Amino acid sequence: MSLAQFTDFVKNITTENNNPASDSSGVGAQLQKALGDLQGSPEEKMAKVAQELSKLAKSKGFDVSEADVNTYIDSLKVQYDMNPMIASMADTYCSSSCHFASAISAS
């Protein structure tokens, strides 16, 4: 399993068109179907996100485990917490066009 493979997968799905998370077919539709009704504690939601993203990545030919997804998300959290410029860019991006944020509600 490979964190680099997950990074490649994320690049692939976020650049396949202008708005993959709300695309009516392909990866966008699969993400919405898999993650559209997340329920439970934040930990349970993250476990489900890792499971579904790993499954979707594997279906697209990427060798990605749930641990890879968790490592990727944890690294984003660290970057966000440690670097104010990254935090500002992430806040701006996610408030305007973040595809994962549109698929994973904060509630």
Domain spans of the chain, in order of start: 3-103
Please tell me the distance from the alpha carbon of residue 25 to that of residue 6, in angstroms, as a whole number. Answer: 21
Q: What's the pLDDT tens digit per position in 22-77? A: 555 577 778 778 888 888 888 898 899 899 999 988 988 999 999 999 999 899 88
Q: What is the pTM of this model?
A: 0.71
Q: Rounded distance, CA 46 to CA 77, Å?
A: 13
pLDDT at 98 exceeding the cut of 50: yes
Q: Is 99:19 a contact under the CB 8 Å cutoff?
A: yes
